[in-house]
Structure 1
Amino acid sequence: MKFFPTYLSHLLPATLLCLMLCACEKAETPRATPVDRTLLVYLCADNNLADDARGNLDALVQGMAAPGARSSDTHLVVYLDTPQGNPRLLEVTAAGAKEVYAWPAQHDSASPDVMRSVIERVCQDYPAARYGLVLSSHGMAWVPSTATAYFTRSRSRTREEWPATKYFGQDDNPGPTGYLETEELVAALPDGRFDYILFDACFMASVEVEYALRSKADYIVAAPTEVISDGFPYADIVGELLAVEPDLKAVCRTYYEHYAAHPDSRYHSAAVSLVRTSELEALCDIHTLLWRSALAHDPAVFAEFNLSGVQRLDRYRRPFLFDLGSIVGRLETMGAISTAGADQWRQQLARTVVYEAHTPMFFDLAIAECSGLSGYIPVASYPDLNEYYIKLAWSEYNRNSVL
């Protein structure tokens, strides 16, 4: 779905606008000496996640006050866009969050141009030897924003039953609602700038998305399932995220344990993975060989695939996100691929997904198996999704199975 995709703002009086722009000139002057690390937290919350984003900001301040945050040789910068006021940049320290720049009007934080300009501004004003990026909003893996027919829950639920969840990239104002599709996210992010990207959004540990972003960071932290809207426990992880050599496995573990051991049993729902992007090309290569083998065995193997036979990772009435390892296991059981080929694939998966953890249930969805990555199956009953899917880089090898 569009990734970084909430509200009409009034025009600032001319005098106030002039003062604000003057005050912001200083923020546009690059720091002379680079620090060890700059972390940009991009809170795209001009939607129904505004309260959660403000809670995340408070948690970041709390984390900066904790031992080990190394605030003297790092920068923590937050881009915040909510329905209240115009988008702004905040520098976060143990003393609090200080506004360093405010845009003079509302804009679409789910626009690739906006995201690109925010990243360029932060990298110019806060130079560092290394950069990290947190992307927080709604998200729907690679699925386009036009596929609304698929976004109906299989069961009704209320806030009282389960906490709300988030997905990535939605901006509701000034309107119409903006989203950031997979190819737009790829265009918005610079190659090689970040050593890690953390997605605080639902479903972003999709092999299609992570393959598309393989040149954007060395590691990606994301969830193959939904993410409860409270998000990552920033007070507990920001010190690690600011480290020169962050322990991203520890970040994942902290996230998982935060929900798995939550005092409120309704929150016992989490899945997270850490992907080494340099291994995604090799995973795609062997995956392509397996798919070609399966198609040679049965040209209709995917079009007629029984979706009930694999582990689903979404809770929608028409499921479209499935565990990648479960798909390969099912093909092996069907005899469509060899055991030797499946084992070779699993060995490469282990080199790619270097950490994975999941609770036994995500709300009402049982998770019996989880490889850390979701994948799509181009069944004949999903022609509209197939039409979009075959345009993705990951699925180029797969076109003959869905046309």
Structure 2
Amino acid sequence: MIMNRKLPLYGTALLSVVMSMSSCGDDKPQGPTEPDSIKRCVLLYAVASNNLYENLLSDKDEILEAARDMDLTGLSMMVYQVTRNDSARLLQLRRGRDGVCEFISVKSYDKDIYSTDPRRISAVIEDVRALTNANNYGLIFWSHGTGIDPSFSTHDTRSDRDEMVFSETRHSFYSFGSDNNPEKDKGYYDEIDIDELADAIPDGVFDFIWFDACYMSGIETAYELRDKCDTFVAYPTEVYTPGMPYNLTIPYILKETPDLKSAASEFFTYYSDHPSSSYRVATIAVMDMTKIEIVAEYCNRAYSGFSKAPSSSGLQTYSRGKFGPFYDFGQYTRRVMEMNPTDMTSEDFERLMDEFVIYKSATDYDFNGRPISADNYSGVSCFRFSESDSSEKAQYYHTLDWYKRVYPKVELE
């Protein structure tokens, strides 16, 4: 099996209260008869109108397997899915009177708007909130992913990015999604860049966001989402096609108070102890987003004398093929401090990183067969900023909040 998969995100939340269900063709979602009874709702937002469709089917089966033995009282799970040959639909996990768990369609959406369009993401989130009125929400994004690698999408974007002029050539990168609609454009795959995705998610709604997708554990990605969740879970490298083992992680995720570190540990152990040695590759990190601004302030001061980017030689790389390259954020920052001395200490930085990254694991080797140094593994990647880089990707990087927050004002040559 090829490791070119960008993890599926299966959010998993189950619902045990009696629901007024609508047919899949209804325009308006129907709410629960006891809206105040839902303590936790998890939304899995799955863009599977690509080569990951079969994986979504497997992941939904894993969710049902986990739900079978769980007490779902006060818990709700919603799955938004889009596939190539079906309408985009919002599903709800429900246990029937016979005790069997199943997914019931509660709303369908037209495909005139891509599922990677900020308008669709925002609309689905609002529908889920209206349907469940839960006390707490979690969000899992499931699809392809390439971190901050831009697709230069044609969606409405931030004003500073609108003023930028990119080439009309579509890049082969995708940040998140890769939505295909044969009825609109058979050969076109739509993606959403991380800044657009952040704008599509309301502030203060989700207490956690988990990217079951490749390359999304980057400091720039996390910083864009700093107001969107309290805890952020993602992988700095690729992830194998099976993605998250939902049958093992859902019991920890779909709880009134999720245990995300235990869920991350289950994910990592699934791969590190896999019966097939070819699957024993995985990375993951869990971040306490209440600490990210402190890290940003430290980097702003540590990078204050930035005049030259560290060489990529010897930096731990989390990339393969055309994606990235991304480098280890912790190691990169230490190199910047060595080359551009300030009064900031590496000991302070390590302490802050220990408070920010509350769980991290990595196998001994990455998808390229290269060793992963435990001493240089922070669980978080970063872009290697260079003042001499005038590429379109570097121009895009200048629009991201992390760049604006931590780097001195260095003009591109």
**TM score, norm. by length of structure 2:** 0.82
Query: Structure 1 residues 76-85 or 254-263, which shifts more?
Result: 76-85
Alignment partner, residue 106 of structure 2:
100
1:387 aligned to 2:395?
yes
Amino acid in structure 2 at the alignment position of 1:98: I
Name 1:126's counterpart in structure 2.
132
Aligned pair 1:172/2:180, yes or no? Answer: yes
Number of equivalences: 364
Q: CA deviation at 1:170?
A: 1.4
| 150 and 91 in structure 1: CA distance in 2 versus 1, 3 angstrom threshold | closer
SS at match of 2:345: helix
In the other structure, the counterpart of 2:235 is 223
Provide the residue aligned with 1:400 in structure 2: 409
The code of the aligned residue for 1:63 comes to A
Matches within 5 A, 1:254-269: 254-269=266-281
Q: What amino acid does structure 2 have at the position aligned with 1:326?
A: Q
> Aligned residue for 2:87?
86
Deviations 1:197-251 (A, max 9, x none): 1100011111001011011011011111112121111111112111111111001
Match of 1:248 among 241, 246, 260: 260
SS of the counterpart of 1:46? coil
**Pairwise mapping of residues 228-243 of structure 1 onto structure 2 (< 5 A)?**
228-243=240-255
CA displacement at 1:48 relative to structure 2 = 1.1
Deviation at 1:92, TM superposition (A): 1.6
Residues 242-274 of structure 1: per-residue CA shift (max 9 Å, x gap): 111111100110000011111111111110000
Looking at structure 1, the residues matched to 193 and 175 of structure 2 have their Cα atoms a distance apart, in angstroms, of 13
Shift of the 217–319 alpha-carbon distance from structure 1 to 2, 3 Å rule, reads closer
Further displaced range: 361-370 or 384-393: 361-370
Does residue 159 of structure 2 align to residue 139 of structure 1? Answer: no
- Residues 358-380 of structure 1: CA distance to partner in whole angstroms, max 9, x if unpaired? 01112223211310111111233
Rounded to whole Å, the distance in 2 between the matches of 1:20 and 1:38 is 21
Residue 322 of structure 1, CA deviation: 0.4
What residue number does 1:271 align with?
Answer: 283
Contact conserved, 1:323 with 1:370, CA < 8 A, in 2? Answer: yes
Q: Which residue of 1 aligns with 2:10?
A: none
The alpha carbon displacement at 1:63 in A equals 1.0
Kept in 2: contact 1:87–1:107 (CA 8 A): no
5+ residue gaps, structure 2: 1-5, 8-21, 95-99, 153-165
Q: Quick one: which amino acid aligns to residue 89 of structure 1?
A: L
State the AA in 2 paired with 1:135.
Answer: F
Q: Greater helix percent: which structure?
A: 1
**What letter is aligned with 2:384?**
I
My pick for the range that moved more, 106-115 or 140-149, is 140-149
Task: Select which of 42, 46, 51 maps to 1:43.
Answer: 46
Find the residue that maps to 2:353 and give its secondary structure.
helix
Question: Alpha-carbon deviations, 1:338-397, whole Å to 9, x = none?
Answer: 695222111111111111000111222321131011111123356322211111111114
CA contact (8 A) 2:304 2:342 kept: no
CA distance in 1, matches of 2:324, 2:194: 19
Contact preservation (8 Å) 2:328, 2:377: yes
**Which residue pairs with 1:158 in the alignment?**
none
Cα distance in 2 for residues equivalent to 1:167 and 1:216: 18
2:72 equivalent to 1:64: no
Q: Deviations over 1:309-338 (max 9, x none)?
A: 211111235852100111123235x45336
Deviation (angstroms), 1:279: 0.7
Of 377, 381, 384, 1:370 maps to 377
| Residues 49-84 of structure 1, C-alpha deviations (whole Å, 9 max, x = no match) | 111111111111111112xx3312111111111112
Structure 1 CA distance for aligned equivalents of residues 66 and 52 of structure 2: 21
| 1:155-170 equivalences in 2 (<5 Å) | 168-170=176-178
The letter for the 1-side match of 2:245 is P
Instruction: For 1:29 and 1:150, locate their aligned partners in 2 and report how far apart those are by CA, in whole Å.
Output: 41
**Structure 1 residue ranges without an equivalent (≥5):** 5-18, 153-165
Contact 1:220 1:274 in 2 (8 A): yes
Q: 2:348 aligns with which of 327, 344, 350?
A: 344
Amino acid at match of 1:50: Y
Say which is worse superposed, 375-384 or 222-231, in terms of deviation.
Answer: 375-384
Which deviates more from structure 2 when the two are superposed, residues 369-378 or residues 392-401? 392-401
Q: Aligned-pair distance for 1:136? A: 0.5
Partners in 2 of 1:216 and 1:80 — Cα distance? 21
1:363 aligned counterpart, secondary structure: coil
**Residues 317-336 of structure 1 correspond to what in structure 2 (within 5 A)?**
319-332=324-337, 334-336=338-340
CA contact (8 A) 1:112 1:188 kept: yes
* Residue aligning to 2:19: none
Q: Would the aligned equivalents of 1:31 and 1:126 in 2 still touch at CA under 8 Å?
A: no
Give the secondary-structure state (helix, strand or coil) at the position aligned to 1:401: coil
SS at match of 2:361: strand
Q: Distance in 2 between matches of 1:382 and 1:317?
A: 18
Once the two structures are TM-superposed, the CA of residue 107 in structure 1 deviates from its matched residue by 3.9
Q: Distance in 1 between matches of 2:60 and 2:112?
A: 20
1:283 aligned to 2:295? yes
Distance 2:348 2:340 in 1: 15
* 1:292 partner SS: coil
- SS state of the match for residue 400, structure 1? coil
Equivalences for residues 1-40 of structure 1 within 5 A = 24=26, 27-29=29-31, 31-34=33-36, 35-40=38-43
What's the TM-score once normalised by structure 1's chain length?
0.84
Assess if the C-alpha contact under 8 Å between 1:283 and 1:348 holds in 2. yes
